[in-house]
Chains A and B, each alone.
Chain A
Amino acid sequence: MPSQVRLCNQLAAALAAGALYRTKVEYSTARNKTLERHAMSWLYEMRRFTDQQSLSGVARIVRRGVARQAVSHGLELCPSHGAKKMFGILNSNPWLTSLLAHHVVPRGQSLLGNFRLRNWASQTESSVIGGQSSRFIRDISIDIGDLIGSFGNRPPASIAALRKAIVVFITRTIEETVTPPHSASSITPPSDYNMLSKLMREKVEKTAGLVRNDVSFITFNYDTCLEFGLVRRSLGVDYCLGEPFIDPAEERLSTAPARAEAARLDQLGSLPQVQQDHPNGNRAFMKCHHDRPDGYARCST
Chain B
Amino acid sequence: MDTPGARLNLGSRIVGKHHGCGAPLEHEPAIVRPTWNKSASTRGLESVWQRAATEIGSAENIIVNGYSFPKTDMFFKYLFTLGSHSDTRLESFTVINGPKSAALKTQFADLMGTHEFGRIPTTTNSCLRDRTTSSRTSWPR
Report A's interface with B, CB cutoff 8 A.
134-137, 139-140, 142-144, 163-164, 166-167, 170-172, 174-175, 178-183, 187-188, 192, 195-196, 199, 203, 207, 209-210, 216, 218, 220, 222, 224, 239-242, 262-263, 265-266, 269, 272-274, 276-279, 289, 292, 294-296
Known: A135-B34, A171-B12, A292-B18. 7 other contacts (CB 8 A): A136-B73, A139-B36, A143-B40, A164-B28, A170-B31, A222-B31, A273-B10
Contact of B3 among A144, A172, A181 (CB under 8 A): A181
Asked if B139 and A203 make an inter-chain contact with CB atoms under 8 angstroms apart, the answer reads yes
**CA A218 – CA B65 in complex, angstroms?**
10
Give the tally of cross-chain contacts (CB within 8 A).
Answer: 138
Question: Distance (Å) between the CB of B4 and the closest chain A CB?
Answer: 5
Complex: how many Å from CA A273 to CA B6?
12
Q: Which of B1-47 contact A (CB under 8 A)?
A: 1-13, 16-22, 28-29, 31, 33-37, 40-41, 45, 47
Closest 8 CB pairs of A and B: A171-B11, A266-B20, A240-B51, A182-B6, A181-B2, A295-B18, A139-B35, A216-B55
CB contacts (< 8 Å) of A207 on chain B: these are: 139, 141
Q: Are B31 and A167 in contact (CB under 8 A)?
A: yes
Tell whether, in the assembled complex, residue A289 and residue B6 are in contact, meaning their CB atoms are under 8 Å apart.
no
Q: Is B141's CB under 8 angstroms from A195's CB?
A: no
Q: What 0/1 readout, one digit per residue, does chain B (44-83) give for beta carbons within 8 Å of chain A?
A: 0101100110011001000001010010110010000000
* In the complex, chain B residues 88-141 whose Cβ is within 8 Å of any chain A Cβ: 128-129, 132, 135, 139, 141
- Chain B, residue nearest A203 (CB): B139
What is the CB-to-nearest-CB distance from B22 to chain A, in angstroms, rounded to a whole number? Answer: 7
Q: Given A139-B35, A182-B3, A209-B141, A240–B48 Cβ distance below 8 Å?
A: yes
A240→B45 CA distance, assembly (Å) = 9
**Complex: chain A residue closest to B76, CB-CB:** A220
Asked if B4 and A181 sit within 8 Å, CB to CB, the answer is yes
Query: Measured between alpha carbons, how far is A287 from B21 in the docked complex, in Å?
Result: 17
Given known A-B contacts A175-B12, A274-B13, A143 and B37 have beta carbons under 8 A apart: yes
Taking CB atoms, residues of chain B closer than 8 Å to A276 are 13
Residues A136 and B6 in contact in the complex (CB < 8 Å), given A220-B76, A239-B48, A241-B48: no
Interchain CB contact under 8 A, A183 and B1: yes
Q: Tell me whether A170 and B33 are in contact (CB under 8 A).
A: yes
Looking across the interface, which residue of chain B has its beta carbon closest to that of A266?
B20
Which residues of B are found within 8 Å of A143, using beta-carbon distances? 35-37, 40-41
Partner of B20, one of A136, A183, A187, A295: A295
Provide a sorted-by-A list of 16 A–B residue pairs whose CB atoms are within 8 angstroms. Answer: A136-B73, A139-B35, A140-B35, A143-B36, A170-B31, A170-B33, A172-B12, A181-B6, A187-B8, A203-B139, A207-B139, A216-B55, A218-B52, A218-B55, A224-B8, A294-B16
Q: How far is the CA of A286 from the CA of B22 in the complex (A)?
A: 19
Are B22 and A171 touching (Cβ within 8 A)?
Answer: no
Alpha-carbon distance A209/B72, docked complex (angstroms): 39
Q: How far is the CA of A242 from the CA of B47 in the complex (A)?
A: 7
Q: Which residues from chain B contact A265 at a C-beta distance below 8 Å? A: 20
In contact, B6 and A187 (Cβ under 8 angstroms): yes
CB contact under 8 A between A167 and B33, given known A181-B3, A295-B18: yes
Task: Kindly provide the distance from the CB of B15 to the nearest chain A CB, expressed in whole angstroms.
Answer: 11
Q: How far is the CB of B114 from chain A (nearest CB, A)?
A: 23
Q: A163 to B129, alpha carbons, bound, how many Å?
A: 38
Is B16 within 8 A of A277, CB to CB?
Answer: no
Q: Which residues of chain A are near B51, meaning CB under 8 Å?
A: 240
